[in-house]
């Protein structure tokens, strides 16, 4: 799953969840593991970083527009499990992340179409104007 997808989904959970912000931020963190269970095609680190940076800038622009400082926090929290599993940070967490990750047969790159459609839908939902939540 791309980092951008994790960021977008966690941001939608936070923005549209209708519960207190701490609950929604925790749900955004948990969504990472749920998404990683879905069969998906893995992109290389360079492409993932470029997508994540572009998405992060979009979300930051949205946060400034809406004066919602927790939106970029939600995005980073959605990506946090991938950050924590990097070598030298936490071997225990890496083992847990690997356990949760899809391990089926090779997946077609066509799965990227589905993943990008979900990501685009999340971004569309985020960019719709809605009254600011009280969280």
In a domain, 135, yes or no: no
Indicate whether 133 belongs to any domain.
Answer: no
Q: Is residue 134 in a domain?
A: no
* Residue-range definition of the domain harbouring residue 96: 3-127
Give the helix ranges, DSSP H, for 1-135. Answer: 3-16, 21-37, 45-66, 70-84, 91-100, 111-127
Q: Is residue 82 assigned to a domain?
A: yes
In a domain, 28, yes or no: yes
Q: How many domains does the chain have?
A: 1
pLDDT digits (tens, 9 = 90+) for 41-53: 888 889 989 999 9
Predicted confidence band of residue 40 (pLDDT cuts 50, 70, 90): confident
In a domain, 53, yes or no: yes
- 65 in a structural domain: yes
Task: With respect to residue 48, please indicate whether it lies within any of the assigned structural domains.
Answer: yes
pTM of the model: 0.85
């Amino acid at each position: 799953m791309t980092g951008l997808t994790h960021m977008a989904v966690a941001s939608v959970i936070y923005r549209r969840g209708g519960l207190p912000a701490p609950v929604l931020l925790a749900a955004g963190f948990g969504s990472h593991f749920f998404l990683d269970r879905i069969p998906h095609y893995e992109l290389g680190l360079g492409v993932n970083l470029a997508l994540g940076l572009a998405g992060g800038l979009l979300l930051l622009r949205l946060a400034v527009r809406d004066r919602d400082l927790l939106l970029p926090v939600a995005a980073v929290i959605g990506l946090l499990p991938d950050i924590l599993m990097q070598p030298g940070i936490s071997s225990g967490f890496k083992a847990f992340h690997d356990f949760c990750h899809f391990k089926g047969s090779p997946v077609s790159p066509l799965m990227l179409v589905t993943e990008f459609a979900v990501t685009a839908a999340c971004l569309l939902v985020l960019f719709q104007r809605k009254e600011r939540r009280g969280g």
